[in-house]
Amino acid sequence: MMFNKLFANCLLVNDFEKSLSFYRDVLGLKVNSQDGKFADFKLEGTSLAIFEKDAAVTMFPKKHMSSGGGVVLAFQVDDVNKACEELKTKSVEIFEGPKTTDWGQTVAYFKDPDGNIWEVSKP
């Protein structure tokens, strides 16, 4: 198989400082490295990074970048209700949930500053 391991996820963002503050200060992710308008975060397994669109043109033309909101990132937490309450104290709007799905999973959803959807669920 040509594709056998997901190496990294990089979100193209409109405002690097706003997104960095959201991911670092609101969500509590630890910055692994930062170079200009690019930062990646320490996570177990696959890498998560943000890259401001205006700087990302070093990779490919901006015309190929969407307006955001086209990604769902799913993370597991020990307690969905507790995670949502903590996010609300940081002015994060939970737009769906916490709720139990038909298949028995507890989930909730919120958006980052660029409209990408985050799912938090219990393993």
What is the extent of the structural domain holding 100?
66-123
Whole-number Å distance between alpha carbons of 119 and 108: 6
Look at residues 17, 38, 65 and tell me which one is the last residue of a structural domain: 65
Whole-number Å distance between alpha carbons of 74 and 119: 5
Q: Residue 68: helix, strand or coil by DSSP?
A: coil
pTM: 0.83
DSSP letter at 36 equals T
Residues 56, 9 share a domain: yes
Q: What is the CATH number of the domain that holds 117?
A: 3.10.180.10
Q: Which amino acid is at 58?
A: T
pLDDT 10s per residue in the chain (123 long)? 666 777 788 999 999 999 999 999 999 999 999 999 999 999 988 889 999 988 888 777 888 777 666 678 889 999 999 999 999 999 999 999 999 988 888 999 999 998 888 989 987
List CB contacts of 87: < 8 A, sequence separation 6 or more: 26, 27, 94, 110
Residues 53, 6 share a domain: yes
